[in-house]
Structure 1
């Protein structure tokens, strides 16, 4: 059994070991302002859930934090449920008018909270989808006057309740529609990355034995693939834990998003470094102007955007790059694309035919990578809300994985990039680098030129009159032959 097969099999066994875990509940705490408070303090967004076609259900219970006095009435908030088609309109109405004017497609009235540390009863409702899947939005409202309901008493006090809610699909699955197939997709990506990483390590070992070293671009690629692998492993752990406790591992999920972003930054940095001449006309990364400080700023910006995205409210959030975060990322990727293209254009004026052929393919593949996120991000905006997250995430994972395969093929095989870059340095006679050979070629050429000049001067002084023209023609042919030999040596 090969190393790649053993690695993939091990990860598969570990993943399947936890796939049988079952989701339980989502919970939280909400505070209401009471009857005397402003309307916005009497209405609280609870959460959302995507239901597939069929009959889905929800179960909710409450627990009151406050200890009531004799003249205080037990608060009994309503559960208001809105359809995704109507939800964008809710911001145009006052909080206590939304159920009527948006409208709420269903109101589960007068939930009973438990007291003295005890939970109230589970209250169950059904929701139906017959034409297409929908995302349903849930909110708790304490707007109606309890006196109007025939329940006199003091309702001017604020209070806090804990809630627990279960959402179930028609088949009892408790994953929202947009996340329904993400555990399987993440497992497949993780298995693919594991096989790819094992292949990378195997090829890198062979390359190191052949060349005597691993170039920094190869080590950078291995590091970036490692970041991607760890990010998917953490994301899978979060999803499997979510299936178990309904809350997941928020810290692991956040770290997974950060590492996935960093792997994308690493990939973009490798492409830009090469486009700016690293390994082609520059042998040291620090010689690439502004690369290190700009990449550092971009890295910090991506980490900050992940943090901002995690803090966004979920009522209008359909994927991780929703809203302003996504548009900033789009602007950054387009700026990186412009930087990449400018480097390619400068390289075109500094290389021979082999370099031109390499740059043609490199520019097409690199441009496709930089433009992938802007294209995908814009396209998902026109999709139904429940489709945006799975399509965006799946497409980004596919693009990133494809970029690793392409870069690995570029760095680890003796193809066009190997021929025009300094990665082939250790394959030269005497294991000397390309920079050393170039220096040797230059000194030899200068030495030959100086020797040729001295010989021409000495011979010219001894020529009889009338033979200068013949000698001039001969020296011209000698000069052309010398240039041809030198060009052949430089190739």
Structure 2
């Protein structure tokens, strides 16, 4: 499972707006989708490079390949048609003569005057000229490389505009919370000779998330310059993101089942081992399915379609388990603790329900903003949940400070002060 996930991650991370696809000639269909691009208002430049592989050195032929460009307005109609009828609704189509023994680069531009658009790139071989140019048993391949630069020369697609700055701000907020929570741990240790394990685990969660966002920010900055980014930084960002989500989920689940209320030590932690394994498995599934068919024409973000609803179902399942624990703990406690449980349910619900809510909201948004809604939305909700938990754990007037069996009593603290 881990090996499969890692392969999916590498396949996804190799995709930027320098798209490279390789096709075995004998396996070609009549029509092939290459990629899509969100173009801002103005002029956008692109280049298509074709090259044949595993061909004879003395082959001096040129072979015609038709590339096609579709505008988002016509795309739904095009995809409903038979493959060889789609060119009838293409906004632009052109036949390129590609030499067998050398690569050929075709350069073009797109201009949007009224509003931003999504453009879809494809090529076709409906006359079967390409397939009939080589023996059936041959291993000739066709490399197709697409490079697009947006208005102003940036490598970002329309969906990614502004996301670098937003992620940078969220990362800065995480750093501030990390410093604040770390200081709270040291202050409690010095003043009350206490070690707050919930706060410590929250700091670990913040640290993992901060690393994830910092790696992602640097990668996006490099991406904006070369259209490819850094594979290493992307892999590290994903790994730390999965670890952060797992940590936050386990904190909420353990609290919901009475940790720090009915028990504080990990003497009974073996009870949480099965659920921790299950949560870890689900987090890997959520990340893994997001890489399936990442650049498919029907996906405006990595959780588009059935993979997003599967991930939403997993989050809802975790939320149901979380709420079940809260109800069980709630029924066994007094009024003061019940107030804390209600707050925890509210704060935890922000985290668990945010993904299904965003997935639903995206049903009603324009295609070129869905990426931002999902990516920025999940980051903001996750950061908000951590911020709310920070307030819950650190505020001297919070209910948690009064009921946690790991701390001194609230009255004793007041006496010390």
Q: TM-score range by the shorter chain?
A: 0.7 to 0.9
1:122-170 Cα deviation digits (max 9, x unpaired): 42223232333221111122333559xxxxx955566323344331223
1:422 match: secondary structure: coil
Q: Distance in 1 between matches of 2:112 and 2:239?
A: 36
Q: 1:30 aligns with which of 22, 25, 33?
A: 22
Aligned equivalent of 2:75: 87
Over 3 Å counting, the alpha-carbon distance change for 1:408 and 1:313 in structure 2 is closer
Aligned equivalent of 2:39: 51
- Which blocks of at least 5 consecutive residues in structure 2 are unaligned? 1-15
Farther off after superposition, 263-272 or 59-68 = 59-68
Q: Distance in 2 between matches of 1:400 and 1:327?
A: 19
- How far did 1:277 drift? 0.7
Aligned equivalent of 2:95: 109
Q: Distance in 2 between matches of 1:69 and 1:417?
A: 76
- How far did 1:360 drift? 2.9
- Which blocks of at least 5 consecutive residues in structure 1 are unaligned? 1-23, 148-152, 431-491
1:228-261 Cα deviation digits (max 9, x unpaired): 1111122123212322332223453244234323
Over 3 Å counting, the alpha-carbon distance change for 1:123 and 1:243 in structure 2 is same
Aligned equivalent of 1:336: 318
In the TM superposition, what are the counterparts of 1:279-358 in structure 2 within 5 Å? 279-285=260-266, 287=268, 290-315=271-296, 316-358=298-340
Name which one, 1 or 2, has greater alpha-carbon Rg: 1
Q: Distance in 2 between matches of 1:156 and 1:82?
A: 32
The answer on 1:175 being equivalent to 2:156 is yes
Greater relative CO (CA pairs within 8 A, separation 6+): 2
Query: What is the alpha-carbon root mean square deviation over aligned residues?
Result: 2.9
Q: Distance in 2 between matches of 1:146 and 1:371?
A: 52
2:29 match: secondary structure: helix
- How far did 1:387 drift? 0.5
Over 3 Å counting, the alpha-carbon distance change for 1:285 and 1:155 in structure 2 is same
Aligned equivalent of 1:389: 371
The count of corresponding residues between Structure 1 and Structure 2 is: 393
In the TM superposition, what are the counterparts of 1:133-282 in structure 2 within 5 Å? 133-144=116-127, 154=133, 159-282=140-263
- How far did 1:398 drift? 1.0
- How far did 1:105 drift? 1.4
Q: Distance in 1 between matches of 2:311 and 2:385?
A: 18
1:291-320 Cα deviation digits (max 9, x unpaired): 331122121222133233224241222212
> Scaled by the length of structure 1, what TM-score is found?
0.72
Q: Distance in 2 between matches of 1:232 and 1:306?
A: 16
Aligned equivalent of 1:482: none
Farther off after superposition, 263-272 or 216-225 = 263-272
